[in-house]
Amino acid sequence: MIKTKRFGEWFEIIVPSHWDGLSIDSILREKWSAPKKLIHSMSMEKQIKVNGEIINWHNPLVAGDKFQLKLFQEANFDVIPEYHEVEVLYEDDHMIVFNKPAFMDTHPNSLHDETNTLANAAAFHLLAKGEIRKVKHIHRLDRDTSGAVLFAKHQLAGSLLDKLLEERRIKRTYLALVHGKLTLKKGTIQEPIGRDRHHPTRRRVSPTGQPATTHYELLETFRKEDLSLIKCQLDTGRTHQIRVHLSSIGHPLAGDLLYGGRPIINRQALHAAKLQIPHPFTEKLISCYAPHTQNHILDNFFKDWSHKL
């Protein structure tokens, strides 16, 4: 694990042995793939030092050097902060994970009008702590899906977390309650997903769609109710991916009327129960477990599975 420390607006990384010989430029551009605009801004504003000094960005660093970045300046919220009771699963100086309730959008469609989304709650949470930050969601959940959602608290963290998600190093595990009894204990669905031209919001398996991969594993079968509890992990993050894929194999989510589920509950039975993140700066693996406590019917099926995944 890489040793780090915060000093006010500055963040300090003790250069680890596996960074020995790298330059500031190579860390920003190659290792971190930071945006060019951000790199230029940090250079012009002299927001990077080594051992307290401004140095040539092409000079090699030595293990043990203090690599210092000015990351924690105030930045105006781009959404309206508003209080909502939302559980925080993990938080540090760079990122925050919330347990999103069902029936809440991840972010507003209109930044200046909507205030009832998770992004608004995130902004209020930081404001209450005296942190003025332009928070950014790294991934999203459907409005009716509950569970863990990751936000970045500054621009460089957002860029690094985006890269980790793209490289499939951030692992998302879902609990899903589906109709029917699964014949296979484990399986992988690799079917491209595209828009359904006959419906404004529905997606479907389509040969011309985007590649999508969902892995699933049977956890428990409820014979009396003709339901199965499964866990799903995604290699891709297409809109409605789990819902479309499970419906395509004849096991739609309970409550998911859009994709063939029956209305035994008032929403699709899908919960983002676990999120694993290799920390973008320390490289420590952060594991977040999101308890499900919002729907008594689903609670009976999900039980304590969130902590067993």
Catalytic residue set: 142
Task: List 179's β-bridge partners, or say none.
Answer: 227
- The encoded tokens of residue 85 equal 């009771």
Q: What angle is formed at CA 279 by the lines to CA 274 and CA 47, rounded to 5 degrees?
A: 145
Residue 90 near residue 30, CB atoms below 8 Å: no
Integer CA distances (angstroms), 6 to 93, 258, 270, 301, in order: 8, 48, 38, 43
Q: Rounded to whole angstroms, how far apart are CA atoms 163 and 170?
A: 9
The DSSP element (H or E) to which 232 belongs, if any, is strand 227-234
What value does the CA radius of gyration of the chain take, rounded to a whole number of Å? Answer: 22
Q: Rounded to whole angstroms, how far apart are CA atoms 280 and 151?
A: 13
Q: Quick check: helix, strand or coil at residue 57?
A: coil
Q: Rounded to whole angstroms, how far apart are CA atoms 270 and 294?
A: 12
Number of Cβ within a 10 Å radius of residue 235: 15
Q: Rounded to whole angstroms, how far apart are CA atoms 227 and 301?
A: 10
Residue 220 near residue 210, CB atoms below 8 Å: no
Integer CA distances (angstroms), 165 to 35, 76, 224, 302, 308, in order: 16, 25, 39, 26, 23
- Phi (first) and psi of residue 46, to 5 degrees: 50, 55
